[in-house]
Structure 1
Amino acid sequence: MRLSTVILPDRRWSEGGRETWQRAEELGFHTAYTYDHLSWRTFRDGPWFGAIPTLTAAATATSRLRLGTLVTSPNFRHPVTLAKELISLDDISGGRVTLGIGAGGSGFDATALSKDGEGAWTPRERADRFAEFVPLLDRLLSEDVVTQPGEHYSAFEVRNIPGCVQRPRLPFAVAATGPRGLKLAARHGQAWVTTGDPKLSETGTPAQSREAIAGQIEKLGAACAAEGRDVAELEKVMLTGFTPDRPLASFDAFVDFAGSHAELGFDEIVVHWPIADSLFAADVAVFEKIATEGLAQLG
């Protein structure tokens, strides 16, 4: 099992941003991700920086740490421009980028480009766009020249030379729990991401959460079988912080959480870098002990 972290883009690079990413590498995290949002929940009225520029800066400040988004969505992205940015980031990082990608939600990003804050896409409309977005992005990152008409996203004679450092393209970690998203994960993903069942986050129990996640993995397996693919080929990534569990509450709590989710088949656990007075508040000393010693306790 691997241990990774999410570093929110809420600090100026000159005021602790650089040092945080470098510390993530020093602590031995496998990957450091960041959210790809325009703003997010309780952080909306505070500092918040762009994901791709932040990851580009992190690429120049580190040498071993993998980097990624968790997750990018169609809410304010277009495959053509996103592909160009990702190819550039993959080059600058020396092939250390993973694209976490999902259908997006109904938060602030969903209406930021509207005239009046109205008209957020329905779940079906988000799924429709995601179903076009991922295959086109796959082609744009894999082929030198792409022309593809679409209802929502099109490309005409788009050139992406020389392509990704990672071949045939940088890996996709697809966040999905519904049937259409799981199909995309099975067809295009190198990894699958879940945050658990959101309905259980506040009122469920850890046991109920694990049962729900096991059900998601079963559905992923069925989606892979329908695509003629072995579900074991997909890395399984658990983004923490949205289940009834509190894995950063103590060292032992993390070991219990990681062990029970390893039994479910997860390859990677992702914990949020501590941010005081927020949903992601945690004891920094405990967090760093988890980073350096936590997985070794699993045997």
Structure 2
Amino acid sequence: MRLSTVILPVRRWSEGGRAEWQRAEELGFHTAYTYDHLSWRSFRDRPWFGAVPTLTAAAAATSRIRLGTLVTSPNFRHPVTLAKDLIVLDDISEGRVTLGIGAGGTGFDAVALGQEAWTPKERADRFAEFVPLLDRLLTEGAVTQEGTFYSAVEARGLPGCAQRPRLPFAVAATGPRGLRLAARHGQAWVTTGDPKLYETGTPEESRAAIRGQIDRLGTACAEIGREVSAMEKILLTGFTPDRSGPMESLDAFVDFAGRHFELGITEIVVHSPIPDSEFAADQRVFERIGTEALAQLPSIS
């Protein structure tokens, strides 16, 4: 099992931002991700910095930890410009980037460019076109493609990614179409659990739902002759019914991690604590998770 963290881009680089990414590397986390949003929920009227510049700075400030988005979406991105940014980021980081990517939602990003918020079907339709085109742009030298939503005309991707054939995709999906995209294009799959259970579900119901998601991912992989075991399965914590429980103590986290490993999850991501927010947590517990949790789980580390 891998343990990773997500660092929300809420601190100025000179006022704790740099130190937070460097500390994540010191603690031994496998990957440090950040959200790729223009703003997010309760942070709308608080400082919030862009994901790609933040990750570029983090790449220069670290040397070992992997870096990534969790997640990027089509809400305000276009495959051509995103591909160019990712190639640069992968080069600067010397091949340490993972692209977490999802269909997006109905938050601030959905209307910030002046468009109407897309329906779930429209988001799925766009995602189904966005991911394959981005895949081509990161693996081929020149791409021309006319799509319903996204097009490219002799778009150049030279010199390509530092990672070959391209940087890995971690595809966030729970529905049939998204899971098929994950199976075909993803090196990893991402879940936050079942959002229907967030408010009123139980931890047991949540684990059953995640087990069902993994089963459906397996079916999608089988349809194209792929082994689901070849994919990493990432759980972003904080959105299941026991959302705060894993961060209450090291023992609580170890129990949480073990139960989800039994389901097939191979990477667990915890939020770096942010005071006075839904991600408030004891910094000492967070640091102990980074340095001690895997040693408490010898059978899965």
TM bracket (short chain): over 0.9
Counterparts of 1:101-250 in structure 2 under 5 Å? 101-114=101-114, 119-245=116-242, 246-250=245-249
What stretches of structure 1 of length at least 5 have no aligned partner? none
Query: Residue 268 of structure 2 aligns with which residue?
Result: 269
Q: CA deviation at 1:218?
A: 0.6
**Range 66-75 or range 286-295, more displaced:** 286-295
1:71-95 Cα offsets, whole Å, 9 max, x none, are: 0000000000000000000000000
Task: Please give the alpha-carbon distance, in whole angstroms, between the structure 2 residues aligned to 1:173 and 1:160.
Answer: 20
Query: Tell me, what secondary structure is at the counterpart of 2:247?
Result: coil
Task: Please give the alpha-carbon distance, in whole angstroms, between the structure 2 residues aligned to 1:233 and 1:173.
Answer: 13
Task: Please give the alpha-carbon distance, in whole angstroms, between the structure 1 residues aligned to 2:265 and 2:194.
Answer: 16
Counterparts of 1:17-166 in structure 2 under 5 Å? 17-114=17-114, 119-166=116-163
Q: CA deviation at 1:249?
A: 1.3
Task: Please give the alpha-carbon distance, in whole angstroms, between the structure 2 residues aligned to 1:230 and 1:220.
Answer: 10
1:262-291 Cα offsets, whole Å, 9 max, x none, are: 111111000000001111010001111111
Query: Residue 257 of structure 2 aligns with which residue?
Result: 258
The letter of the residue matching 1:76 is: F
Task: Please give the alpha-carbon distance, in whole angstroms, between the structure 2 residues aligned to 1:290 and 1:158.
Answer: 43
The letter of the residue matching 1:87 is: I
Q: CA deviation at 1:192?
A: 0.2
Task: Please give the alpha-carbon distance, in whole angstroms, between the structure 2 residues aligned to 1:57 and 1:263.
Answer: 36
Task: Please give the alpha-carbon distance, in whole angstroms, between the structure 1 residues aligned to 2:249 and 2:292.
Answer: 12
Task: Please give the alpha-carbon distance, in whole angstroms, between the structure 2 residues aligned to 1:286 and 1:232.
Answer: 31
The letter of the residue matching 2:102 is: G
Query: Residue 5 of structure 1 aligns with which residue?
Result: 5
The letter of the residue matching 2:198 is: S
Task: Please give the alpha-carbon distance, in whole angstroms, between the structure 2 residues aligned to 1:250 and 1:208.
Answer: 22
TM-score by length of 1: 0.98
Task: Please give the alpha-carbon distance, in whole angstroms, between the structure 1 residues aligned to 2:53 and 2:73.
Answer: 16
1:86-136 Cα offsets, whole Å, 9 max, x none, are: 000000000000000000000000000116xxx200000000000000000
Q: CA deviation at 1:252?
A: 1.1
Query: Tell me, what secondary structure is at the counterpart of 1:184?
Result: helix
Q: CA deviation at 1:203?
A: 1.1
Q: CA deviation at 1:157?
A: 0.3
Task: Please give the alpha-carbon distance, in whole angstroms, between the structure 1 residues aligned to 2:73 and 2:132.
Answer: 13
Q: CA deviation at 1:57?
A: 0.1
| RMSD over aligned Cα atoms | 0.6
Query: Residue 281 of structure 2 aligns with which residue?
Result: 282
Q: CA deviation at 1:244?
A: 1.2
Q: CA deviation at 1:39?
A: 0.3
TM-score by length of 2: 0.98
Q: CA deviation at 1:41?
A: 0.3
1:142-199 Cα offsets, whole Å, 9 max, x none, are: 0011011100000000111110000000000000000000000000000000000011
Task: Please give the alpha-carbon distance, in whole angstroms, between the structure 1 residues aligned to 2:248 and 2:217.
Answer: 30
Query: Tell me, what secondary structure is at the counterpart of 1:247?
Result: helix
Aligned residues: 296
